Amino acid sequence: MGSVFLPHLRTGWHVDQAILSEDDRLVIIRFGLEHESECMLIDEILYQILEKVKNFASIYLCNIDLVKDFNQMYELDDDPFTVMFFYRNKHMMCDFGTGNNNKLNFTIGNKQEMIDIIETIYRGAHKGKGLVVSPRDYSFLRNR
């Protein structure tokens, strides 16, 4: 249900504009396919936290079948969904312990966990860091 209420980026230009449009908030883009079950779960969590993070983050969705511009660059075809973070037109990286700092591509357990991740990335970005360490270690996911 969350994907119905969150803004969709329909072209590569819209993705670029979303990333460029924010000066002080984190831009969060969920790349994926709305009909995939894991994607639906993350969309629901993103929708549920929207009000709580709106002062420091904006959330968008992008269907990788409709917008293919970033699929190869960010290796988006390999996962059911990918959540990426940008701040002032800079790709923000987060060390989740999974070996991939470029994106969040695993299911988050609950809303507070996602809020904690977003707050951590925002605080690091605000301090000029390009890489932050996740508040929780997800290294146990490496072997799935």
Per-residue pLDDT tens over the stretch 38-60: 999 999 999 999 999 999 999 99
For the cut 60, the answer to whether the pLDDT of residue 143 exceeds it is no
pLDDT at 144: 47
For the cut 70, the answer to whether the pLDDT of residue 2 exceeds it is no
Residue 124 lies in a domain: yes
- Number of domains into which the chain is organized: 1
pLDDT at 138: 93
CATH number of the CATH domain containing 16: 3.40.30.10
Residue 143 lies in a domain: no
| pTM for this entry | 0.95
Q: Which domain holds residue 41?
A: 2-138
Distance CA 69, CA 22 (A): 21
Please work out, in degrees rounded to the nearest 5, the angle formed at the alpha carbon of residue 101 by the alpha carbons of 99 and 104. 100
pLDDT at 97: 94
